[in-house]
Amino acid sequence: MLRSDFTFFASILLLSSSLIGCISESDVDSDDVADKDDNCPDIFNPIQLDYDGDKMGDLCDSDDDNDGFLDENDSHPLDSDESTDLDGDGIGDNSDDDIDGDGVENFEDQYPYDSNEKWDTDSDGIPNGVDNDDDGDGWNDSVDQFDLSPVTSLLEDGPFTSGTMDVVFTSPRGHEVTLQIWFPSKENNGDRVIYDNVLPGMALDDTTPDCSEPRPVTIYSHGFPSIRWGSAFMMESLATHGFISIAPNHRYGTVFDVDVDKLPNHILSRPDDIMESFDWLVSQNNIDGDLFNCIVPEDGYSMIGQSTGGYTSMMISGARILSSDLESGCSDNNSDFTGLNCEILNIFNNTEILEFSNPDSRVQSTILLSPWNASVLNNGISNVSVPTLVLTGDSDETTTISQVNNTVLQLGDSIINYAVFNNSGHYAFAPIGCLAYGCDGLLDINISENLSSTIAIIYLAKQLNWPESDNYQFPDSEHITWKYD
């Protein structure tokens, strides 16, 4: 009887166990979520995430945000508003201000989905990167001075607005240098400059340079005493044609700090002022800022010098101060600059040198305006090694026509063009001088400015081999006598 009871109860327990197993809820993936409630019944998915609420868990849903793009192709699989990220910056294209990541925002970028292209300047349907004539002016980009700006006439203001600003940098020699900069401007409207609150100009003041394409460079050297903007009219004109022009104040030689006692050292240091100014421009070209990528340093620059700035231009173009010339000048009792020659000769004797030169191989051409040789240059002028244009006046009492003729003679093969302005004085190319000393009875300064600016741009264009420049002739005017043309 006991054995039968035991067998009976054992059978009951076995049956109960089987029944419990039969009515238990299935959980195939063993994630403690019954299959009937599991949004991914075949995948271990205890958290049951379902981003789009479609009752298919994210782990087994091929389109988690239900935007129609499979997760494997969706840059933002959990954002139904984003599915692509072209530049891979983590910002979906629908909310990315620069979809292709080329640094140009979409509203400006004509090719917002192509990081290799940004513009189609001439709107011909060919992006600039593969267009051989970006500005559509008929000149291949390989010979066009400005790929993005159509060639315009050299006989009038160029296509750009002239802008200007002044900056101060520290010379490697330890003193501050004030530099005036003229450039094509991005703005078309603004206040006209008044240089140092003295001379009104035509350039817009404190605007932003247009560095959309590389700009050729000129450097201007002022007279003694004068100031960096002494011939601003010419630099303003060049800026309208796409040039960047810079001009330093030569220490102890401006109207604000002139020091005759320091004249010998001032004379010898002028070329360094120019080279350091160009070095500064190159440094700005290589860093983020207003002048970033604005020039091609390897292309160098052209010099423009008025009066003593003509001496500076010749020195930096290869001229030499010879002790033999200094000895002749020191013994000339009829010269106003005998003392200067003697003082510089004394410097030579104390340092046991026979000549002084300070050229810059980066100078490509030179324009001399009523050039003064600082009374220390004569035979050494013949070492100038770059193409040179000379403009002067026949009524100049500071650098007389005979002095300039001698300079031209010494320039030899370097002289390319030489023009004499009739009834014109020393300040024909530096209007600040007319304000200070007067130019009554001489050629109207506006005529001189217009003619010399036209000559300058034609000369520089020819030197730079600009398209169509060979078709231009220098002005044939009743106010000019051409000696070399």
Q: What are the tens digits of pLDDT across the range 440-467?
A: 999 999 999 999 999 999 999 999 999 9
**Which of 277-281, 304-308, 355-359, 481-485 shows the lowest mean pLDDT across its residues?**
481-485
Q: Is the pLDDT of residue 12 over 60?
A: no
Query: Region 218-233: what's the mean pLDDT?
Result: 97
> pLDDT tens digits, residue range 151-164?
999 999 999 999 99
Nearest CA to 56 among 34, 65, 72?
A: 65
Residue 47 lies in a domain: no
Contact 431, 223 (CB under 8 A): no
Q: Which two tokens stand for residue 163?
A: 């802008």
> pLDDT tens digits, residue range 162-178?
999 999 999 999 999 99
pLDDT interval class at 219 (50, 70, 90): very high
Residue 257 lies in a domain: yes
Cα first-last separation, the chain: 143
Please return the burial class of 279, using the count of CB atoms within 10 Å of its CB with bins 0-12, 13-18 and 19+: middle
Residue 280 lies in a domain: yes
Residue 146 lies in a domain: no
**Which of 227-231, 234-238, 480-484 shows the lowest mean pLDDT across its residues?**
480-484
Residue 364 lies in a domain: yes
Query: Region 259-278: what's the mean pLDDT?
Result: 97
Residue written as token pair 């450097």: 219
Residue 416 lies in a domain: yes
On average, the pLDDT of the chain sits at 92
Q: What pLDDT does residue 21 have?
A: 45
Q: Which two tokens stand for residue 267?
A: 């004379």
Query: Region 248-261: what's the mean pLDDT?
Result: 97
pLDDT interval class at 29 (50, 70, 90): confident
Q: Is the pLDDT of residue 37 over 90?
A: no
Domain of 175, CATH number, reads 3.40.50.1820
Residue 234 lies in a domain: yes
Contact 340, 264 (CB under 8 A): yes
Q: What pLDDT does residue 148 have?
A: 92
b/e map 301-316, b = 16+ CB within 10 Å: bbbbbbbbbbbbbbbb
Residue span of the structural domain in which 232 resides: 161-319+359-484
Please return the burial class of 456, using the count of CB atoms within 10 Å of its CB with bins 0-12, 13-18 and 19+: buried
Residue 410 lies in a domain: yes
Q: What pLDDT does residue 61 have?
A: 84
> pLDDT tens digits, residue range 401-441?
999 999 999 999 999 999 999 999 999 999 999 988 899 99
Q: What pLDDT does residue 8 have?
A: 52
Q: Is the pLDDT of residue 191 over 60?
A: yes
Q: Which two tokens stand for residue 299?
A: 């292309």
Nearest CA to 178 among 160, 199, 164?
A: 164
pLDDT interval class at 18 (50, 70, 90): very low
Query: Region 314-332: what's the mean pLDDT?
Result: 96
Q: What pLDDT does residue 11 have?
A: 52
Q: Is the pLDDT of residue 66 over 90?
A: no
Instruction: Give the number of C-alpha atoms closer than 13 A to the C-alpha of residue 77, restricted to the C-beta side.
Output: 12
Q: What pLDDT does residue 22 have?
A: 46
Q: What percent of the chain has pLDDT over 90?
A: 79
Q: What pLDDT does residue 24 have?
A: 62
The number of folded domains in the chain is: 1
